[in-house]
Every structure is written in structure tokens, then in C-alpha cells.
Amino acid sequence: MNTFVDADPGLQRSRRRDAEQNRLAILRAAGTVLNRDPDASLDAIAGAAGLSRRALYGHFATRDDLIHSLLAHRVSEVLAAVERIEHPDPPTLLTLIGVTLWRQVESVRVMAQFALRGPFQHELSYGLQPLRDRVKHAVTVGAQTGRIRDDIDPATLARLVEGAVLSVLDEATRFPMDAATGERLVALSVLAILGYDAAGARALIAETPELRS
């Protein structure tokens, strides 16, 4: 009887859906719990997901396995969000990318900082390489067309653009900052790195609806 039931395609699909839902619930709970406490235990994460520790181990053998999967999940979300951004003007595109990154991580600031500065930073860096390549390309085009500064090597300037976002993230982790303020600081910081003065940065933000919160 059990063999017959297990062979039922509908039942198998239902079990796969349940397993995937449990896995996503664990990842969501892990993001929330680790944002509060990067050293949180698997028990705490399982409890937040409404599952037993045994159920969690059915998906992730170790804490590191869980964190690896969580980071891969978040990276895929970030890349998908950034891939949707299109703009013909390089400085505007770069600012939109920076703001989009902030929007993706601001609700999990501590977890994001832990990932970017902690033991998983090299793995995360590899996952984000397509984004870094796009930023470098936009910087190169912007310098060649006179839209952004050309007195800094494009590879270096691209890293400084990334650093501008991380600086705001660091500030928001240490001191109270609402999402809109952080978003504006990211936009202004990216544009400052690209060579814009305060008036020019404010004008570009005002002319770009996607940058106005």
C-alpha cells in the first residue's frame, strides 16, 4: 500500500512543494534571526520558521550549509533586481544600481554587513561578480563619454562606487537611519564618487523619478 501511495505523482508533487516551502521558510527565518544576532543558533532559526530542529536538518546539514544557501538566495535576489535596471545615462544607471542594492539589504542590515565583512565575503564576492562587471562597464562608458570623471582608473572607480554603498550600510548599522535617508545618502555618495558636486547630484536625483522616495 505504501509503495502505491508513494508512487502517486500528485502526492509526490505535493511533498516537493511542502519541502520547498519549508526550505524557503527556513531561509526567510534565518535572514530575520541572523539580522538580529549573527551568532544565533539553529534552534532559534528553526523555531522562528515554525519547524523542528530535525526538520531544519532535513534541508541543511550544518549551520554553514544554511548560511551558504541563504547568501546564494540573497545574491540571486539582488542580481535579479539589478538586472531589471536599464538607463542610457551611465551616472544615472550607477546611482540606480546603488540605490537598488540599498533597497535590497536595508531591511537586513546586520546580516548584510556580516556577509560582506565576515568569513563568507570571498564567496559572496564571487557571486556578485556579474554585478561588479556591469558597474565597471558603466564607469568605463561614463568616463569615455564625459559623463563622469576620467581621472581615476575605471576598475578603481567601480570599487569606490561599491564602497560608497557599503559606507552607508556601515553607518546605518551603527546608528539609527530610516530607509529613505539611507537611500538618499547612497545616491549622493555614489554621485560624489563619480565627480558630481552637491548641486549637480541633487539635480540628477530630482530629474530621475526612480531615485525619488
pLDDT digit of tens for each residue in the chain (213 aa)?
455 455 566 656 666 777 888 898 999 898 888 888 888 899 999 999 999 988 899 999 898 899 888 888 888 888 999 999 999 999 999 999 999 999 888 777 766 766 666 666 777 777 889 999 999 999 999 999 999 999 999 999 999 999 999 899 888 888 889 999 999 999 999 999 999 999 999 999 999 999 876
For 102, the grid coordinates are 540599498
Nearest to 115 by CA among 158, 69, 149, 148: 69
The secondary structure element, H or E, covering residue 35 is helix 9-36
Q: Please, what sign has the CA dihedral across residues 180, 32, 98, 166?
A: positive
Q: What does the pLDDT read at residue 36? A: 85
DSSP letters, 121-149, are: HHHHHHHTHHHHHHHHHHHHHHHHTTSS-
Neighbours of 191 (CB within 10 A): 27
For 28, the grid coordinates are 526567510
Q: What does the pLDDT read at residue 4? A: 47
Provide the terminal-to-terminal Cα distance of the chain, rounded to the nearest Å.
59
Q: What does the pLDDT read at residue 7? A: 57
The Cα–Cα gap between 137 and 7 comes to 52
CA dihedral 71, 76, 77, 79 (to 10 degrees): 120
Q: What does the pLDDT read at residue 195? A: 97
